[in-house]
Amino acid sequence: MVTCKKTRAVKIALHKKGFTGKDIAASKIEPKSAIYRIIKNFKESVSIVVKKVSGCPRKSSKHQDRLLKLIQLRDRGTNSTALAQEWQQAGVSASARTVRRRLLEDGLVSRRAAKKPLLSRKNIRDRLIFCKRYRDWTAEDWSKVIFSDESPFRLFGASGKKVVRRRQGERYHQSCVMPTVKHPETIHVWGCFSAKGVGSLTILPKNTAMNKEWYQHILREQLLPTIQEQFGDEQCLFQHDRAPCHKAKVIAKWLWEQNIDILGPWPGNSPDLNPIENLWSILKRRMDKQKPTNSDKLQALILQEWAAISQDAAQKLIDSMPGWIAEVLKKKVNPANIDSLHQLHVIVNKSLRLMKCLELYNI
Say what the pLDDT of residue 343 is: 46
**Could you give the CA distance from residue 355 to residue 363 in angstroms, rounded to a whole number?**
9
pTM of this structure: 0.67
In this structure, are residues 80 and 99 in contact, taking their beta carbons and an 8 Å threshold? yes
Say what the pLDDT of residue 190 is: 96
In this structure, are residues 48 and 6 in contact, taking their beta carbons and an 8 Å threshold? no
Say what the pLDDT of residue 336 is: 39
Q: What are the CA-CA distances from residue 250 to residues 36, 204, 211, 286, 357 (Å)?
A: 86, 20, 11, 36, 59
Provide the CATH number for the domain formed by 139-154+188-331 in this structure: 3.30.420.10
Say what the pLDDT of residue 276 is: 96
Q: Which of 172, 145, 158 is nearest to 305 (CA)?
A: 158
Asked whether the predicted pLDDT for residue 2 surpasses 60, the reply is no
3-state secondary structure 71-139: HHHHCCCCCHHHHHHHHHHCCCCCCHHHHHHHHHHCCCCCCCCCCCCCCCHHHHHHHHHHHHHCCCCCH
**Could you give the CA distance from residue 36 to residue 100 in angstroms, rounded to a whole number?**
37
Q: How do residues 295-347 score in pLDDT, each as one tens digit?
A: 899 999 999 999 999 999 999 999 999 999 999 998 864 443 434 444 444 44
Say what the pLDDT of residue 17 is: 74
Say what the pLDDT of residue 53 is: 60
Q: How do residues 132-149 score in pLDDT, each as one tens digit?
A: 999 999 999 999 999 999
Question: Between these two residues, 224 and 8, which has the higher pLDDT value?
Answer: 224
Q: Where are the domains of the chain?
A: 5-45, 62-106, 139-154+188-331
Say what the pLDDT of residue 341 is: 41
Average pLDDT, the chain: 83
Residues 6 or more apart whose Cβ sits within 8 Å of residue 51: 41, 45
Q: How do residues 280-304 score in pLDDT, each as one tens digit?
A: 999 988 888 888 888 899 999 999 9
Rg (CA), the chain: 31
